[in-house]
Structure 1
């Protein structure tokens, strides 16, 4: 196993690009080291409370070192910068001894000071000819001039904690001939994904769910624009409608490559050029940008491009290439595919909206319980909202799921089977009514009583039928009192919501009473049998 030392400071320009949060900065390097099976042998990092460009001797600072026993970053000294630098020199001598003893195989440098705080370590690194990678224009120039074996260097402009860490580890592993795949995703958990196969990270359901706030914001603008005094907001709605593909593209690009701002920039560029393809175009453009970001980033690092250039190529070119392909080749077909799906949905609804509502209402609970809702129904809701700002199935969602769940939980607050169930039901009811989500709150009561389960499906079917009767278009995921205001039929949506809630409430009350009566009869029956 190769062992490295990490030397440097929060820097000048680096301070504004991650250096002011040293623990987060170091966590990215630690994650990449774990992904490459490289051990951290030593750390000497000076973190000041302001940029080193303006820091003074009295500026507060912290010296971090590596605790090899606990395998974590620890604070060695806190005090004025001048004294912190002096403490760092002591640690510098210790690390130099490790290098001389052959216990360190490579060095990562970030805005280091080879003339003072890191002088001894750099002298030892030059003598041992161990590879050095790093950022910081001035410090890397000085290190190179002293004869260090610098295998990759760059300024900090345009870099992020993650892109720097990936670049460092890619360069070192290539030098050593070690196989390495960048660790991406949430590096604070054990669920970080490895980029060996980015195609596996394409998750349409995740893209749709993450983009939902954008659609809800659009629906709110649409509703407000119906107020006579605020008619001018209709232009804002049209603008937001065009922005939806950008939102989806950014989410898709970041989901796949997860290289922080680089992914976001690529997604914005690809999404902007995918607007003519609608939300389907935005998703395809974002996926393409995400795949290209990761490929171009790794290739540019392997070709030893400076990190600033790596980020420009990966973020700019990936978004541009994917976006231009969408703009000239795919966007028209993506738009037609979306329009065809919306046409088929509208035709089915217009053929018999009541039947469509009843069927949707009856199936929506089995769909969410079977894991089909987010994979099939939510995309249809978003496709509908793309055109009108609200949705038929969105209204069924609010009525058949949210209101039914609210009715079930309310019944268990009013007259629960057991006293303890009221405490369980109360938070679920409040979230259902206050936020238009968390229908899972009804699960414990549905799964433990077949009558409640059947009542939920029945209430969903009746509520869905009323959505069809009033030809309502609406949305869930908003407070219940706002639901009707965001729909095309305030009174009709209100009636459908109220009926679904009351029906599920009454059925659950009856079911709970039957259970309580059964429990009350059991002791009497046992006494009679004993007699």
Structure 2
């Protein structure tokens, strides 16, 4: 296993680009090293409380070392910058000793001080000719002048903790002949995955769910624009409508490449050029940008481009290439695909809205229990909302899922089978009513009583039928009192919601009472047998 050491400081420009948070900065490096099978032998890092460009000798600072057992930074000492620079000399000698003992195969340098704080480490690295990579224009130039084997160097402008870490490890692994694929995810959160199969990270359900706040914000603006005093918001709604593909593109690009700001920039560019393709176009543009970000980033690092240039190429060109392909070739077809799906839905509703509502209501619970809801129904809801700000299936969601769940949990607060169930039901009821989500709160009561389960489906079917009767378009994921205000039929939506809630409430009350009577009868029989 190859071993490397890390030296440096929070830096001047680096301070504003991740250097002021040493744990995150080193966490990214540690994550990439782990993915490459490379061990960190030691760290000497000076973190000042402000940029080194303005820091004084009296500026407070912390000297960090490395804890090999926990694979993280450990605080060695704290004090003024002058005191910390003196204390750093001890680690500098230790690091030089490790290099001369052959226990360090490579060196990562970030805004180091090759004249004082890191002098002996740099001298040892030059003597043994180990590969050195790093950032910090002035310090890296001085390190090169001292004869160190610098294989990759760059400034810090435009870089992030992740892109720097990937660049460092890519350059070192290429030098050593080690196969390495960048690691994506959140260091310390247990979500790290290799980036060698990008298509596997395409998750349409995740993209749709993450973009939902944008659609809800648009629905709120649409509802407010119907009030005479806020009529001017109709123009804001039009702007937000155009922004939705950008939102989806950014989420898709970030999901696939996860290169921090580089992914976001690529997604914004691709999304802006995918507007004519609607939300399907935004998703496709973002996916393309995410795939290209990773490809171009790795290639540019292998070609030894400076990190600033790597980020510009990866973020700018990836977004531009994907966006132009969408703009000239795919956007019209993506838009037509979305329009065709909406056309089919509208035709089904127009043929018989009541039947469509009943069927939708009856199937909504099996859909969410079977894992189909987020994969199929939610995308259709968002496609409907793309143009009108609300949705037929969105109304069924609120009526058939949220209100039914609220009715079941309310019944278990008022008259539970067991006293302990009221405490379980109360939070679920409040979240359903207050936030228009967490329908899973009804699961324990549905799964433990077949009559409650049947009542949930029946209530959703009746509520869906009323949605069809009143031809309601609405949305869930908002407080229950706001649901009708964001719909096209305030009275119709209110009645549909109320009926579904009260029916589920009544069925659950009856089922709970029957269960209590049955339990009491069984208890009496047991008592008689014992006597």
TM-score, structure 2 length as denominator? 0.99
**What's 2:398 paired with?**
398
Q: By how many angstroms is 1:185 displaced?
A: 1.7
Q: By how many angstroms is 1:530 displaced?
A: 5.9
Q: By how many angstroms is 1:528 displaced?
A: 4.5
Q: By how many angstroms is 1:20 displaced?
A: 0.5
User: For the structure 1 residues 526 and 90, does the alpha-carbon distance in structure 2 shift closer, same or farther, using more than 3 Å as the test?
Assistant: closer
**What's 1:27 paired with?**
27
Unaligned runs of 5+ in 1: none
Q: By how many angstroms is 1:193 displaced?
A: 1.6
Partners of 2:23 and 2:72 within 8 A in 1:
no
Alignment of structure 1 residues 80-95 onto 2, 5 Å: 80-95=80-95
Q: By how many angstroms is 1:90 displaced?
A: 1.1
CA distance in 2, matches of 1:192, 1:404: 38
SS at match of 2:153: strand
**What's 2:247 paired with?**
247
1:419 aligns with 2:419: yes
1:98 aligns with 2:77: no
Partners of 2:405 and 2:429 within 8 A in 1:
yes
SS at match of 1:109: strand
- For residues 97-117 of structure 1, the C-alpha deviation after alignment (integer angstroms, 9 at most, x for no partner) is 111111100000000000000
| Number of equivalences | 531
- For residues 163-197 of structure 1, the C-alpha deviation after alignment (integer angstroms, 9 at most, x for no partner) is 00000000000000001110002222332121111
Q: By how many angstroms is 1:526 displaced?
A: 3.0
Partners of 2:27 and 2:72 within 8 A in 1:
no
TM-score, structure 1 length as denominator? 0.99
Q: By how many angstroms is 1:524 displaced?
A: 2.2
Alignment of structure 1 residues 312-391 onto 2, 5 Å: 312-391=312-391
Unaligned runs of 5+ in 2: none
Alignment of structure 1 residues 130-209 onto 2, 5 Å: 130-209=130-209
- For residues 258-279 of structure 1, the C-alpha deviation after alignment (integer angstroms, 9 at most, x for no partner) is 0000000000000000000000
User: For the structure 1 residues 94 and 522, does the alpha-carbon distance in structure 2 shift closer, same or farther, using more than 3 Å as the test?
Assistant: same
Q: By how many angstroms is 1:73 displaced?
A: 1.1
Q: By how many angstroms is 1:67 displaced?
A: 1.9
CA distance in 2, matches of 1:94, 1:368: 59
Partners of 2:30 and 2:71 within 8 A in 1:
no
**What's 2:300 paired with?**
300
CA RMSD of aligned residues (A): 0.8
CA distance in 2, matches of 1:293, 1:522: 66
User: For the structure 1 residues 69 and 194, does the alpha-carbon distance in structure 2 shift closer, same or farther, using more than 3 Å as the test?
Assistant: closer
- For residues 362-396 of structure 1, the C-alpha deviation after alignment (integer angstroms, 9 at most, x for no partner) is 00000000000000000000000001000000000
Runs (4+) of structure 1 moved beyond 6 Å?
A: none
CA distance in 2, matches of 1:87, 1:39: 25
Partners of 2:271 and 2:282 within 8 A in 1:
yes
Partners of 2:428 and 2:438 within 8 A in 1:
yes
Q: By how many angstroms is 1:71 displaced?
A: 2.9
**What's 1:433 paired with?**
433
**What's 1:526 paired with?**
526
SS at match of 1:103: coil
**What's 2:126 paired with?**
126
CA distance in 2, matches of 1:70, 1:341: 52
CA distance in 2, matches of 1:180, 1:94: 29
CA distance in 2, matches of 1:26, 1:47: 12
SS at match of 1:420: helix
